[in-house]
Structure 1
Amino acid sequence: MLQKTDGGDGLLERVLRHVEAIYHETPLSLPAAELAGELLQLMRLEDVNVSPQQHVNHWSQRDALVISYGDTLLREDEKPLVTLKHFLDTYGEGLLTGVHILPFYPWSSDDGFAVLDYSSVNEFLGTWEDVSDIAAQYDLMADLVINHCSSRSLWFENFLRGESPGRDYFFTASPDADLSDVVRPRTSPLLREVETSDGTRYVWCTFSHDQVDLDFRNPEVLKQFVSILRHYLDNGVRIFRLDAVAFLWKIPGTPCLNLEETHEVVRLLRTLVECARPDALLITETNIPNRENLSYFGNANEAHCVYNFSLPPLLVNTLVTGDCHHLKMWMMSMPPAQNGTAYFNFIASHDGIGLRPAEGLLSDEELDALVATMRHFGGHVSHRALENGESRPYEINISLFDALQGTTSGPDAWGVERFICAHAIMLALEGIPGIYIHSLLGTRNDYDRVEHSGQYRAINRHQWDYTALQEELSREHSSHARVFTHIKSLLDIRRQQSAFHPNATQFTLHLGTAIFGFWRQSIDRRQSVFCISNISDQAQQLALSDINLIGTDEWVDLLGGAHFQSRDEVVEMQPYQTLWITNAASQPGR
């Protein structure tokens, strides 16, 4: 997928333009051209003069990733990464094409996101060889924790001592500076006072005081992360998740969020990564309001994929209220991703259900009602600080299975059906699906881990004894086996439908507030799939005439097998039932 470039616009020239745009207001200690050359050397691209083809989709409907910590599955006398691969080989073969292993490096807090050493694998989890073994069979996504690192890292210890590497690696600010506009995802103080060999300094901590923000105004920091990228590529990583990248560049007096320099850093990393490996992907983790999140596509020259952060709160809200109005309005507002870019769809993660991406989509009263319902189902709520010193709910911490155990009226008997309905909707949407391992397994809230860790997010970070999990999955009527079997079936059907290509056409249907529907059409226009879900706890009547089936075609429900011959039919949909209605002639063997 590489093209030769002419001499007037070679790779060095492109990288130089990125460098000049990033540091246009920052004095450099070396010429920009020299820095550009060093970046190419670090990526071993100094002799390369090629350009990746634009607008190429490096994915298909067959792609689906599972998201897991390296130690979610534990087996006695075995490294967890080996156990994880055994799970993938045993339960995901042919269905899961990739895996996002959450930070597998040595760390000091935040379950891996306070990195001590980017170049090593946490020895408890395994080795680089174990990582490479997984990458040899599955598309591996790894975190580039680029905004901050651990306050106990060698870099920060050197910062305190005034030694290299690390002396000038961290962002500092005066406590007298006007920081009132800075957007925070936490309620802790932004600045942490520390004593260094140069006296008292105040280091910037966007997330926690153990996660100290790096200073990309220093090109040595950029060079370090380019070197880290190269190291991960060498060990088989194909997909790079840029963690918390929206906060990367800071200018006091501004919100310090989504600054142009941050976008330019993403553009630079994309240029370097895809020239090193043409099918490598960048995905930006930007848990921010929807419009800001979409900006990381750029003009198909920044992230290949962006997390569809508004989907989890909107879909959960839809299923607990029995009203799809807001989900439908959001769907209609979403631009189709250009070829060469795609949405990364998820409805549960290792963190929680982010509420910022729902701001402006749900009213404050609706958000409050959602929070109250989740608390009733055993969830916790994390807050962020506002400019006026107040706080606002930032994230709901709950397992998705428990989040969907009922409606705003309380728990009911439809929990499993509602949970499967959520995944049937997500798997049919435009984009690439990512399924959190605890959703795949129907894991419940883990209150013991919350109590033990003191962290709300631990509620959805259960660790399974692998032998016990295998026993659960072998019990036909256990909720874990039911969930796994249903999601596995959805994945198997999805991967065979060309209309479910991540970039296939998508249109929203208008079927009332209790039935949510959309239409997918394959890129070659041969297949249509009408994806229709009853998102309420009451049976609903679906008139097939409302979804504009072509009368000359035979139509079949991929999930239930029913055939429809007449547009005049009325189908009774059971609570939380989903139909994937396709033209029968598009199916294999027809």
Structure 2
Amino acid sequence: MLQRTPETGLLLDKVLHHVEAIYHDTPTVVDYDTLAKELLDIMRLDELAPAPPQYVNHWSQRDAIVITYGDTLLREGEVPLATLKSFLDDYSDGLVTGVHILPFYPWSSDDGFAVLDYSSVNEFLGSWEDISAIAGEYDLMADLVINHCSGRSLWFENFLQDKSPGKGYFYTALPDADISAVVRPRTSELLREVETPEGTRYVWCTFSHDQVDLDFRNPEVLKQMVSIVRLYLDNGVRIFRLDAVAFLWKIPGTTCLNLEETHEVVRLFRTLVEYAVPGALLITETNIPNRENLSYFGNANEAHCVYNFSLPPLLVNTLVTGNCRHLKTWMMSMPPAQNGTAYFNFVASHDGIGLRPAEGLLSDEELEELVTTMRRFGGHVSFRALEDGQSKPYEINISLFDALQGTTAGPDSRAVDRFICAHAIMLALEGIPGIYIHSLLGTRNDYQRVEHSGQYRSINRHQWEYDVLIEELEREDSSHAQVFARIKALLAVRRQQAAFHPNATQFTLHLGDALFGFWRQSMDRRQGIFCISNISREPLPLSLSDINLIGTQEWVDLIGGEHYHSREEVIELAPYQTVWITNAAGHDLP
């Protein structure tokens, strides 16, 4: 047998370490050596493969990712994935480098997140050839729905009949198990009663009874997921979004959230993916309080990127209250991402505005005011269950455009400017930007879709008839056209600035509660950018002396094009105006 030592750095050593750490305390007897070799065989990796370079940033300021369902754009006579590619090719002007296609597999509920078959493309959307075509032009992000699968999948049907594949794949608990401390985002019963050849069993359902949790204590489940990763890599996927991964490992009597075995599974997938395709990335989708979310960076050995989940509720709250104090406090507390890791920034998603990531950052009274304002703007609220049987707001379901149609005082005429301000802030922050397609298009609340589906989240999952959308984008007086053009203009500027590299230095500025500002500096220290936004309804003065401009340099606003020659100048920022002020010698205009 190969003599392994920590110093060898061989891939087999690393994988063996991972599986030992995962399975050392499970009731199942696991042959660690055999399992480690099986995982390498599935990934087609050499046991003696040398380690790829560590702490490498596989991204730059040029990167921006569009988030979309595969069927958001519909054109008669064409599969939706082909329509999506046409739109990106013809209208993104080369400003988008990646696309996250939300679950494109056959599914039974939750708009794709109850997967029937991980190895197939939903035939309504297209085929693997369509997926590969998109992957050939853009960095493709795909969901690895790792925590659960459909209650109508072949795996679960086989589980109910004690057949393979599926036998032993799903987590079960006794009805009297201690689940009092379990943290979950739903109010439905956690355990679902089912009948099997072995009698009545109780399967664990973190999200819904059609989304049954997989049991990673069974190594066969791990091997299945690794084989799915290999399949996706073979079809061009380069970014894996680990959906709901925080809930992966269960131990009754605990919260069953963020357990050490879960983190070790992430480390294992990181090792396998980066050895298989250097430059392939893992992003953890962990809609949980901020400190817990950051733990998925590990020591730069878990996720390459984590979703910046606290940003959407804090930024929306900032813009509807006209006060940036909480956003500024949070920003000062955020550690810079190590090389080889990055934040994934977003303001809107297919789900909604998560409130758990704002817990501890906004008071209960402030959260209640935010919820009340969003309801006034046509939004809905989803709840989660608490230990005492009560429920608490978990998520606001609303389109971002409608969320920013006004302030706590009510709707006003500055919706587009406020909306663009949100994106100007997000695009300038440390991290990689992800833009939900309905934000790129300024889509409004879809009440008809909510009524049809019976799901609040459908309010922000509109489907566009392609010709109707293009007509809107070609009308100068359309809010959709205005939003689309202005966000693309920001992207065009952003990608030219070294100070907007996702890992470039960031410092918070202190300009009061109505001006939100921060400083970005390129890693070679040649360029700095002052990013300042008026987040209020009133025009405000900005004295350039307050931001310590170097008097010997000429400065320019990258967005508006104005030049500044003296640090004694005072400029007036219109409501929701953003300036990106940089030293003229250190930047390139698009």
Query: Residue in 1 aligned with 2:479?
Result: 479
Q: Name whichever of 214-223 and 40-49 sits farther off.
A: 40-49
Cα distance in 2 for residues equivalent to 1:283 and 1:564: 40
Query: Residue in 1 aligned with 2:554?
Result: 554
Query: Residue in 2 aligned with 1:295?
Result: 295
Residue 526 of structure 2 aligns to a residue whose secondary structure is coil
Query: Residue in 2 aligned with 1:444?
Result: 444
Distance verdict in 2 for CA 1:589–1:383, change over 3 Å: closer
Query: Residue in 1 aligned with 2:96?
Result: 96
Following superposition, the deviation at residue 6 of structure 1 comes to 10
Q: Aligned residues: percent identity?
A: 79
Following superposition, the deviation at residue 92 of structure 1 comes to 1.5
Letter in structure 1 aligned against 2:252: P
Alignment of structure 1 residues 305-454 onto 2, 5 Å: 305-454=305-454
Deviation digits for residues 342-381 of structure 1 (CA, Å, limit 9, x no counterpart): 0000000000000000000000000000000000000000
Query: Residue in 1 aligned with 2:580?
Result: 580
Alignment of structure 1 residues 180-199 onto 2, 5 Å: 180-199=180-199
Cα distance in 1 for residues equivalent to 2:209 and 2:98: 33
Cα distance in 2 for residues equivalent to 1:415 and 1:573: 17
Query: Residue in 2 aligned with 1:15?
Result: 15
Cα distance in 2 for residues equivalent to 1:589 and 1:424: 17
Alignment of structure 1 residues 48-67 onto 2, 5 Å: 48-67=48-67
Contact 1:68/1:436 (8 A) holds in 2? yes
Query: Residue in 1 aligned with 2:469?
Result: 469
Contact 2:135/2:237 (8 A) holds in 1? yes
1:69 aligns with 2:100: no
Query: Residue in 2 aligned with 1:267?
Result: 267
Query: How many equivalent pairs are there?
Result: 586
Contact 2:496/2:589 (8 A) holds in 1? no
Alignment of structure 1 residues 112-131 onto 2, 5 Å: 112-131=112-131
Cα distance in 1 for residues equivalent to 2:30 and 2:387: 38
Cα distance in 2 for residues equivalent to 1:375 and 1:177: 38
User: How high is the TM-score relative to the length of structure 1?
Assistant: 0.98
Contact 1:55/1:339 (8 A) holds in 2? yes
Letter in structure 2 aligned against 1:214: L
Following superposition, the deviation at residue 7 of structure 1 comes to 8.0
Following superposition, the deviation at residue 465 of structure 1 comes to 0.1
Deviation digits for residues 286-316 of structure 1 (CA, Å, limit 9, x no counterpart): 0000000000000000000000000000000
Cα distance in 2 for residues equivalent to 1:46 and 1:286: 32
Residue 467 of structure 1 aligns to a residue whose secondary structure is helix
Cα distance in 1 for residues equivalent to 2:334 and 2:406: 28
Cα distance in 2 for residues equivalent to 1:258 and 1:507: 30
Following superposition, the deviation at residue 46 of structure 1 comes to 3.3
Q: Name whichever of 174-183 and 443-452 sits farther off.
A: 174-183
Alignment of structure 1 residues 533-544 onto 2, 5 Å: 533-544=533-544
Query: Residue in 2 aligned with 1:513?
Result: 513
Letter in structure 2 aligned against 1:251: I
Cα distance in 1 for residues equivalent to 2:340 and 2:186: 34
Cα distance in 2 for residues equivalent to 1:31 and 1:293: 32
Query: Residue in 2 aligned with 1:522?
Result: 522
Cα distance in 1 for residues equivalent to 2:565 and 2:588: 19
Distance verdict in 2 for CA 1:372–1:584, change over 3 Å: same
Contact 1:37/1:46 (8 A) holds in 2? no
Cα distance in 1 for residues equivalent to 2:389 and 2:6: 55
Contact 2:321/2:407 (8 A) holds in 1? yes
Cα distance in 2 for residues equivalent to 1:93 and 1:13: 46
Deviation digits for residues 388-413 of structure 1 (CA, Å, limit 9, x no counterpart): 00000000000000000000000000
Following superposition, the deviation at residue 48 of structure 1 comes to 4.9
Cα distance in 1 for residues equivalent to 2:372 and 2:14: 51
Query: Residue in 2 aligned with 1:284?
Result: 284
Contact 2:290/2:310 (8 A) holds in 1? yes
Contact 1:246/1:262 (8 A) holds in 2? yes
Structure 1 residue ranges (4+ consecutive) displaced by more than 3 angstroms after TM superposition: 27-30
Letter in structure 1 aligned against 2:287: N
CA RMSD of aligned residues (A): 1.2
Following superposition, the deviation at residue 462 of structure 1 comes to 0.1
Following superposition, the deviation at residue 535 of structure 1 comes to 0.1
Following superposition, the deviation at residue 553 of structure 1 comes to 0.4
Following superposition, the deviation at residue 47 of structure 1 comes to 4.9
Cα distance in 2 for residues equivalent to 1:478 and 1:276: 46
Contact 2:9/2:51 (8 A) holds in 1? no
User: How high is the TM-score relative to the length of structure 2?
Assistant: 0.98
Following superposition, the deviation at residue 587 of structure 1 comes to 2.5
Query: Residue in 2 aligned with 1:247?
Result: 247
Letter in structure 1 aligned against 2:498: S
Cα distance in 2 for residues equivalent to 1:586 and 1:342: 24
Following superposition, the deviation at residue 489 of structure 1 comes to 0.1
Query: Residue in 2 aligned with 1:456?
Result: 456
